[in-house]
Each structure stands twice: as structure tokens, then as C-alpha cells.
Amino acid sequence: MNLPNALTVGRIFLVPLLVVVLLTKFEGRLILGMRKELVGAAIFGLASLTDVLDGYLARRRKQITTLGQLMDPLADKLLITAALVSLVQMDLAPGWMVVVILGREFLVTVLRSIAHARGVVIPASPLGKVKMVTQVIAILALILGRDHLQQFFVLGTIALWVAVITALVSGIDYYRKFSYLMSSGASVQANHAAARAAANAAERRSRASAR
């Protein structure tokens, strides 16, 4: 296993650790003398950093593999899902906002799978990267803003709203691209089928006249 894939696997293993730290009721809310919110934010920050590093290293070292391409988005979704659900459980984020964001992820995954099965590639939306960045900011700020650092909580709330809006807009954009590409693909296939049928008919007429 190369280094980029190892970082991706490490991010997956950090997910349960993050959930345990955020949702377990420690005495005095301290872990080794540190507030558990600080520990949770550090774990999430480290996991998010591996998301940047694994892609960068894979491209720089030319170690892009099929395994890495499959695991990287899975690791991202596991991390964000675990963090957002934990925030809801901690009463730091409204449940409906998390449902919107995760619903968008499910929709895009389904559309990509259907398109891939039919040999169609849906280009990534720039809004998807904006959504990812605002999600990371929102999660970190909301964790750090619990009980203390009210400015962080305000920042996290604003970032979460931006993430929800971009999730809705990018989800609609993905569906629009999916519908267009699928209909275009169907038209191309129909044209190819018609061309093949015409060619076969012409060949049959040629053979008949030759007789």
C-alpha cells in the first residue's frame, strides 16, 4: 500500500475515534487534561488534513490507483457524516440542515453510479468544493464554539448555512447535468443504432442486386 492510500485508510480509522471523543461523557469533559472539544477538533482537523495530503501526494508521486479513487470519497463521506451526526447529537447543529447536506451526498452518489454504469461521466461541480470547505469550517468552529469562544459558534453557524445552500444548488446542478448527459447519450445511441440499421439494409440491397 502506497503512502496516499495509507493516509486515506488512516482517515477512515479516525472516524470512530472522533465519534467516541465527541459523544462520550468524560468526567469533567476532560481527556488527558484537555477539553474533549479541543481533542475532537484536533482529530477532525488531522483527518481533514489527510484528505488534502493524500490527493496531493498521489498526483505528485503518480500513485493514483483504483483503490485510492474508490476509498478517498468513501473516507470523506464517512468523516463528514460522523461529524455532522455528532453535532446534531450534541445540539450544535439543526437536524434538518444535516439531513439536507447528507441527502445531497446520497443523491449525487446514486446519480454518479447510474451514469458510470452507462459509461457516462458527470463532471464535478465547483460548488462541491465550496461545500466541502464550508463543511470543514462549520464543523471545526461549532465544536470549538461549544460553551466557549462564542465567535467560533457564530462563524460555524454561518458556514453551515453556506454549506446547506451550496449543497442544494450543487445537487440541482448535478441532477441537471445528469439529465442532459443521459438524454444526450440516449440520442447518440439511437443515432448509432439507426446508422447500423441503414448500413445493414444497404448491404442487404447490394447483395440482392448482385444476385
Q: pLDDT tens across 11-36, in order?
A: 999 999 999 998 988 776 777 778 88
Give 71-107 pLDDT, tens digit per residue: 888 888 899 999 999 999 989 999 999 999 999 888 8
The predicted structure's pLDDT at residue 190: 43
The predicted structure's pLDDT at residue 83: 94
Q: What is the mean pLDDT of the chain?
A: 81
Parallel, antiparallel or unpaired: strands 34-35 and 30-31: antiparallel
The predicted structure's pLDDT at residue 192: 47
The predicted structure's pLDDT at residue 15: 93
Higher pLDDT, 95 or 197: 95
Rounded to two decimals, the pTM is 0.80
pLDDT at 188 over 50: no
Highest mean pLDDT among 54-63, 116-125, 168-177: 168-177
The predicted structure's pLDDT at residue 102: 92
DSSP string, 133-159: HHHHHHHHHHHHTSSS-HHHHHHHHHH
Residues 6+ apart with CB under 8 A from 93: 84, 87, 138, 142, 160
Task: Look up residue 141 and give its three cell numbers.
Answer: 468552529
